[in-house]
Amino acid sequence: MAETTKKKRRTRRVRETIREETRAAYREAILEAAAKTFGRLGFHDAKMTDIAAEAGVAAGTLYNYFASKDEIFALMLERGQEYFVETVQAAAAAEPDPAQRILVFLRTVFSFLEQNGPLFAIYLRQGGLNEWSRQRLRESDNHHIRRNVELLKAAFAEAQERGQLRDDLSTEELRELFTGLMDAQVFAWVSRGCPPDLVAKAEVVFDVFLNGVRR
């Protein structure tokens, strides 16, 4: 009797595991299909039926996982932000020179945005510009952004200690100047339709930050 009960429990656990894995696989497929659909049609024109067709599932199945395209997009942004921060942190940590670490940070940010240009543009059009501004004003409220802020400030402090940057500005002032240049370049890039040239601008932004625009 006890052995039969154990077998039933094992069978139930296996079935639950399979259901969870299947559900996770469906969610991933839907998110991937949504990214393609939003990129092709734009967020406003894309419908849940379009996403379902791209994912190869019935529309009813889609609604078993997400209530709306807004919910799908919100999860895409959350995951993208986590991946973005981890990518930036890993790339910058591998560079021992603090000034070069700042350049690596910039290149990595621009590379990520260039690879995800259409979705980033959708994010801005859906009110993301206001959200981006709020995050800049209240970066301490977002632990993902806070990690990148601390990375930059540490690089600035170390660069100052090595005599690579002027020391009459605080690390916070340096960060504000740097992110201001970075944001300006990003928004100009978005206004040009997100062409594949953002990474190439990293060296220019970095040079202007270090040396200004004097000839």
pLDDT in tens, 54-94: 988 888 888 998 999 888 888 887 887 888 889 999 999 89
75 shares a domain with 37: no
74 shares a domain with 59: no
Q: How many residues does the chain have?
A: 215
74 shares a domain with 33: no
pLDDT (mean) for 95-110: 95
pLDDT (mean) for 166-194: 91
182 shares a domain with 88: yes
Q: How far apart are CA 21 and CA 33, in angstroms?
A: 18
164 shares a domain with 108: yes
Higher pLDDT among residues 171 and 4, named by residue: 171
Report the range out of 7-16, 36-45, 115-124, 172-181 with the highest average pLDDT. Answer: 172-181
15 shares a domain with 117: no
138 shares a domain with 61: no
141 shares a domain with 89: yes
Q: How far apart are CA 13 and CA 9, in angstroms?
A: 6
190 shares a domain with 105: yes
Q: What is the pLDDT of residue 78?
A: 80
**pLDDT reading at 206 higher than 80:** yes
Asked which of 46, 67, 88 is the last residue of a domain, the reply is: 67
**pLDDT reading at 134 higher than 80:** no
Domain around 203: 70-215
Q: What is the pLDDT of residue 35?
A: 84
Asked which of 52, 67, 82 is the last residue of a domain, the reply is: 67
- DSSP classification of residue 141: G
Mean pLDDT for the chain? 83
**Which residues neighbour 63 within 8 Å (Cβ) at sequence distance 6 or greater?**
48
Q: How far apart are CA 5 and CA 163, in angstroms?
A: 71
pLDDT (mean) for 162-182: 94
pTM of this prediction? 0.72
91 shares a domain with 195: yes
> Which residue type occupies 81?
Q
CATH of the domain at 174: 1.10.357.10
Count of the separate structural domains present in the chain: 2
**pLDDT reading at 169 higher than 90:** yes
Asked which of 67, 82, 98 is the last residue of a domain, the reply is: 67
pLDDT (mean) for 17-22: 66
8 shares a domain with 114: no
78 shares a domain with 29: no
